[in-house]
Amino acid sequence: MIHIVLDTNILHQEGLESRNMQLLSKLSNSDELTIYVPEIVKREFISKRTMESQEKFTEAKNALLEISKKLLKDDPLRENLSELDKNLTSMTDSVSAALRAQFDNWAKEAKTVELKSDPAALDSIIDSYFSGTGAFRKAKNREDFPDAFVNQCIETLAKQHDTIYIAIKDTAFKKHLETIPNITLSDSLKDFFQRDELQAINTKIDGLIKNVEELKGYLAGEIFTDRLTEHLTFEDEPLKDIYVEEQQIDGINNLDIDSFGASINYAQPNNVKDIKYSNPTYIDEGHYSLDIEITTIASIHYCASYMDFMQLSNQRMKHIDNSSMNGDGICDLAENFLVSLQGTIEIYFDGGWSAQELDTHSAYLNTDKSKIRTTLYIESGAILKHAQN
């Protein structure tokens, strides 16, 4: 039995519906793996998502207010805007409840075990707080209290099993965890699933199910991937909603300007240079997944000072959209760059199909008659160079 503990940053990175999270559920429901989530990790994850949602609601309400101010007092549109504002207010609590329910449903379906901190360990945690030991990076560092409670859960669990796997991104916390016996660390769930023991378990499960290896072979083959590429580049829909936040972007220095808040937005299907597929994976009956890497032109949104913006060449400035500037002289800019996008594409079809039947139906992937459904998940990206270069 594999025992894995999930850290808050991993949950934020993966969400609850990523291919890796579905793989965890698959192995958990096959009784090959147990997923552990410390109670404080659960609280951090839900509270952060709730706060982010509330911030978006506030932004939307402020935008409605700005629009209302531009209208005459007797304009009937003001009443409509007021109703929208009330609806947004009422939806705030509903979204908070929905986010909590989503996590609880995932935890139940994935058969996760919630790790609760031992109240008796509080004195030890307080001692570590004052001395700067354990999970605390320095004395009296309040920011490390969540890690300290997670650490207490992990140390207790590690005494109960020969090996505990932990997926964690926090470099400082990871350094401390390396000192605890019986712990094996991975930087991400992707790295975790690439371990030999996990590959062996997946292979064993797949081998027990009819047609899985045959279907995986077909999905990785040239005929299907060519049709899949045509489907992804045929129209805007699959690529237009791509959004990658700064924390998941490499190569930000290639913007060649001091910036912050960078994000990769709308990717251009008519400017796709290359698409690579790999690692066909069985998730569930009629649900498979491929790793995908797309090289294309995309819009990079970022913030920079007006002074830095004005120092750019005239040639480059012609290709930059400067949408706004605040009172501190910070501009909202958008510019096209060549990017590399990494993620997965989820493929859904009738679980009873053979590879031959899948081949027949994949010929209609680009039509309204298609009985194959795909969902593209982009998890990370890299800025390569200016689109004009």
End-to-end CA distance of the chain: 52
This prediction has a pTM of 0.79
For residues 260 and 328, give the distance between their C-alpha atoms in angstroms, rounded to a whole number.
14
Tell how strand 244-245 and strand 260-267 pair up: antiparallel
Same domain, 254 and 180: no
- Decide if 159 is inside a domain: yes
- Decide if 226 is inside a domain: yes
Domain final residue pick, 146, 161, 193: 193
Same domain, 172 and 260: no
Residues of the chain with pLDDT under 50: none
**Residue whose entry in the numeric block shows the structure tokens 């949408």:** 323
Identify the bridge partners of residue 204 per DSSP, sorted by sequence position.
none
- Decide if 287 is inside a domain: yes
Residue 162 carries which DSSP code? S
* Alpha helices per DSSP H over the chain: 8-14, 19-29, 39-69, 76-109, 122-131, 145-158, 171-177, 189-193, 196-207, 212-219, 222-234, 237-240, 306-310, 314-317, 355-362
List, for residues 56-109, the tens digit of each pLDDT value: 888 888 888 888 888 878 888 888 888 888 888 888 888 888 999 999 999 999
Residue 247 carries which DSSP code? G
* Residue 315, domain extent: 210-386
SS3 280: strand
The pLDDT, as a whole number, for residue 28 is 95
For residues 294 and 343, give the distance between their C-alpha atoms in angstroms, rounded to a whole number.
9
- Decide if 199 is inside a domain: no
The pLDDT, as a whole number, for residue 389 is 62
Residue 389 carries which DSSP code? -
Amino acid at 52: E
**Is 303 in contact with 259 (CB distance < 8 Å)?**
yes
Same domain, 103 and 34: yes
The pLDDT, as a whole number, for residue 236 is 63
- Decide if 44 is inside a domain: yes
Same domain, 25 and 155: yes
Which of 190, 339, 207, 211 lies closest to 266 in space, CA to CA? 339
Same domain, 125 and 262: no
The pLDDT, as a whole number, for residue 79 is 85
For residues 323 and 325, give the distance between their C-alpha atoms in angstroms, rounded to a whole number.
7
Same domain, 172 and 252: no
**Is 154 in contact with 116 (CB distance < 8 Å)?**
no
For residues 218 and 228, give the distance between their C-alpha atoms in angstroms, rounded to a whole number.
12
The pLDDT, as a whole number, for residue 327 is 62
Domain final residue pick, 129, 160, 193: 193
- Decide if 201 is inside a domain: no
Domain count, the chain: 2
For residues 203 and 213, give the distance between their C-alpha atoms in angstroms, rounded to a whole number.
9
Same domain, 183 and 69: yes
Domain final residue pick, 160, 193, 226: 193
- Decide if 55 is inside a domain: yes
Same domain, 114 and 247: no
The pLDDT, as a whole number, for residue 169 is 83
Same domain, 34 and 158: yes
Same domain, 131 and 15: yes
- Decide if 202 is inside a domain: no
Same domain, 170 and 274: no
**Residue whose entry in the numeric block shows the structure tokens 């009738």:** 350
Same domain, 189 and 262: no
